[in-house]
Structure 1
Amino acid sequence: MKKWFKISCVSLLTAILIIALAACNNEEVQTIRVAEVTHSIFYAPQYVAIEKGFFEEEGLNIELTLTPGGDKVMTALLSDGADIGLVGSETSIYVAAQGASDQVINFAQLTQTDGTFLVSREKVDNFSWDQLKGVTFLGQRKGGMPQMVGEFVLKKHDIDPHADLELIQNIDFANISSAFASGTGDFVQLFEPQASVFEQEGRGYIVASFGEESGHVPYTSYMAKQSYIEENKELVEKFTRAIYKAQKWVEENSPQEVAEVIQPHFADTDLDIIEMVVERYKGQDSFAVDPVLDEDEWNNLQNIMDEAGELPERIDYSSLVNTDIAESVME
C-alpha cells in the first residue's frame, strides 16, 4: 500500500511538472523590433539585457537592427518598419515640430551624457580648450546631438566654432574616424571605442570629454509611436523592465565584468579596449542608472539645441516624455 502510494505521488508530481513545463513552453514569445542608431559600447546596458537573458525572462525576443542616422530611425518608426527606436531624443522634437499626428514618445532613457571625446593628433600636455583656436576641427554631422553638444561645449569655453577655428562638418558619421586617420584635422570629436583604439595605436590622444563638459542630457532614449505604446502597454513595460534590470546590473558590476558580458557584440574589439571604454563611460556617469528621463535633462537638451541654432521650437516635456512606464517598473 505504501509502495503504491509513493508511486502515485511521484506520478502525480511528474504530471504536474509536465503540465507546468508545457504551459511555459506554450507561452507566446513576443518579438520587438528595435532600430538602434549606431552599434556602440555606449549602449552597454542594452547588450547586457540581451546577454544576461533579461529580455528572455520577460518573454521577449529582440530583433536588433542597425539603422544609421536619427532620420532613418524615425523613418523606420513612422513607417512601422520598427517598433522601438534607440536614438537621440532630439529626433522626437524634430518630428513633433513637423506636425506628426502620431507623436514619437520617449519612454526610457539609456544614456545620460554625450558619448564623444576630443582627440588630438599630437600629444598635448596640460590641455586647455583655448588651444583649439586656429586649428582644424573635424566635427560631427550638422543637426545631430554630437555636433550640437560639440558646439555647446566650445561656446562654453568662449570659442566660436564658426569663427575661431576651421570646422569640418561635411563628412559622414561612418567616415569621420578614417578621415582623421588619413590626415584630416588637428582635432576630432570621436565616439568610443575608436577614440581609445586611436590612442592605443598612437594615431591620436584623448584630451577631453564632451560628456563631462555638457552635463546630463537624454542623449539616447528608447522611443515609440504614441499609438504603439497605447496598444502594447504591457509589452513596453516588459521591455523597460528588462532594460532597468540591465542598468542596475551595469551599475553594480565592474567594467571588466560588463566587458566580458557584452564582448560577443563587439567581436572585432579587444577585451581590454572594451573594458577601458566601459570604465571611462561609467566614470563619467554616461550610463543612466534607471530609465526615467527627467525634466531638467529635457530642458538641458533643448538649451543645447537652441544654442546650436537647431531647435525648431520648444516642446513641452509632458508632450513627448512618458515616465509612467519607467516609474512603474521601478516600484
Structure 2
Amino acid sequence: MKKILSVLMMVVLMATTLLTGCGQKAETQGASEAVQANASGSQKELQKMNIGYLASPEHLLYFVAKEKGFFEEEGIDANLFLFTNSAEGLNATIAKKVDVGSFGVSAPLVFTAKGADIQVIGGQNSGACALVCMPDRYDELKDINNYKGKKVATVRLSTADVIFRGALIDAGIDYRKGDAEIIELESPAATMEALKKGTVDAALIWTPYVAMAEDQGVKIGMYITDLFENNVCCRQAVLGSELEANPERWESFMAALIKAYDFYMTNHEETVEITSKYVKVDKKYLDKETYDADATMVCSPDPLRNSTLKYWDIMKKTGFIESELDIDEHINTDVYKKALDRMISEYPDNENYKALLNDFEMNNI
C-alpha cells in the first residue's frame, strides 16, 4: 500500500512538468455502438476500452483507428479521452480510469522505476522533436559540441529534454557542473518564446511546433534524431495486471493500430483530415509534420524495445532515474508480434505489414 501511495503522490507532483501537446482535460471524443456485425450477419458485443491521448499529431494512430472503424473491427468499443499532460494520463491509467494511453516515454519509465505496475506493449511514434535557434546562430548551434556555456530552454522530462541532456554529457559538457545552463519552462510554446526574446541561446520543441518553426522566425539547429537515431517517444502503456488478465484483448488493440498504420501510410489527405478533428492546428502544419520529406515524425505501433532500453540508460545517466530494475521485464513485445503475425497471415500481400515485420526484427531482437 505504501508503494502504491508513493507512486500516486509522485504522479501528482510531476503533473506540471511532463507537458506534451495541448488541449483540455479528460474530454471524451465520443463512443461507438456496443455491437458489431460479423461476416455472417450476426451481432457480437464489443469490449469497452477507454484510451487516453494527447492533442498531438503524434497520436494519429488512435485517431485513424477510431474514425475508420479499426477498433470496432477488432471487437473494441473505443472511447478516446483527452489529457493535458503525460503525468495526468498515467495517473488515470494507474487509477484504472483509462485502460491504455500513449503518455510519452519518460513518464511510464519513471513511474515503473518507482514501483508502478506498467507494461509497454507497443509504440505510437518516434522523432518529432527538435532544437531551434535564431538563424544567425545556426552555424554555431547545429553542433552539440558548441553548447558549452550556452543557455537552453526545455520542458523537464520531455523526450527532447532527456535525449539532449544525455547528448551534452556524451559531448563532455556536464550541465550539472555548470558547463551549460538548462532553463526549465512549462511548454514548447514557452521555450520558443524565450528564444525569440533572447533570454536563451536555443530551445527544445516538438510537434507541431517543429513544423511552425520557420514561420516563427527561428531555425532548426538539429533534430533529436541527429542525437538519437530511431529515438523512442510515446509508448503504449497498460497495467501489467490488465495485460495478464486478458492478453487477447491487447492483441486486438495492437491489431487495430497496425491497421491504422497501414491507412496512414497509404491515405495522406484523409489522415491529415482525421488528425485535424483532434488536433486544432492549421492543417498545413499537420501535413508538414506528418508527411513532409524533411519531417522526422514517424508514427508506428512498433514497441522499439532496443531504443526503449537505450532511453532508460540515458535517464539513469542524467539522474532522472535511480534504479537497478531490469526495465526489460516491463517491455512486452509478444502482444504486438502476435497481432502483426495475424495481420500478415490475413493480408499476405500487404507491403506495409511486411515492412513492420522487418522493423520489428531490427528494433526488438
TM-score bin (small chain): 0.7 to 0.9
What runs of 5+ residues in structure 1 fail to find an aligned partner?
Answer: 1-16
Corresponding residue number in structure 1 for 2:256: 242
Post-superposition offset of 1:177: 4.1
Matched, 1:327 2:343: no
Same amino acid, percent of matched pairs: 21
The higher radius of gyration belongs to 1
In structure 2, the CA distance between the partners of 1:282 and 1:258, relative to structure 1 (3 Å rule), is farther
- Within the candidate set 249, 266, 287, 1:253 is matched to 266
Corresponding residue number in structure 2 for 1:309: 319
Stretch deviating more after TM superposition (224-233 or 272-281): 272-281
In structure 2, the CA distance between the partners of 1:254 and 1:276, relative to structure 1 (3 Å rule), is farther
Corresponding residue number in structure 1 for 2:110: 94
2:99 & 2:249 partners in 1: Cα distance? 11
1:39 & 1:180 partners in 2: Cα distance? 24
TM-score by length of 2: 0.72
Corresponding residue number in structure 1 for 2:275: 262
Number of residues of Structure 1 aligned to a counterpart in Structure 2 = 301
Conserved in 1, the CA contact under 8 Å of 2:151 and 2:180? yes
The structure, 1 or 2, with the larger RCO (C-alpha pairs under 8 Å, 6+ apart) is 1
Letter of the 2:304 counterpart: L
Post-superposition offset of 1:43: 2.4
Letter of the 1:40 counterpart: S
What runs of 5+ residues in structure 2 fail to find an aligned partner?
Answer: 1-36, 342-365
Where 1:168 maps in the other structure, the secondary structure is strand
Matched, 1:193 2:214: no
Where 1:61 maps in the other structure, the secondary structure is strand
In structure 2, the CA distance between the partners of 1:324 and 1:284, relative to structure 1 (3 Å rule), is same
Corresponding residue number in structure 1 for 2:133: 120
Superposition pairs for residues 131-150 of structure 1, below 5 Å?
131-141=146-156, 143-150=157-164
1:283 & 1:183 partners in 2: Cα distance? 26
Post-superposition offset of 1:217: 4.1
1:244 & 1:232 partners in 2: Cα distance? 19
Letter of the 1:134 counterpart: G
Post-superposition offset of 1:328: 0.7
Where 1:291 maps in the other structure, the secondary structure is coil
Superposition pairs for residues 46-65 of structure 1, below 5 Å?
46-65=62-81
1:149 & 1:98 partners in 2: Cα distance? 21
In structure 2, the CA distance between the partners of 1:28 and 1:179, relative to structure 1 (3 Å rule), is farther
TM-score by length of 1: 0.79
Post-superposition offset of 1:305: 0.7
Corresponding residue number in structure 2 for 1:9: none
Superposition pairs for residues 150-169 of structure 1, below 5 Å?
150-162=164-176, 163-169=178-184
Letter of the 2:49 counterpart: I
1:198 & 1:93 partners in 2: Cα distance? 29
In structure 2, the CA distance between the partners of 1:125 and 1:320, relative to structure 1 (3 Å rule), is closer
1:173 & 1:117 partners in 2: Cα distance? 10
Conserved in 2, the CA contact under 8 Å of 1:196 and 1:206? no
Conserved in 2, the CA contact under 8 Å of 1:152 and 1:214? no
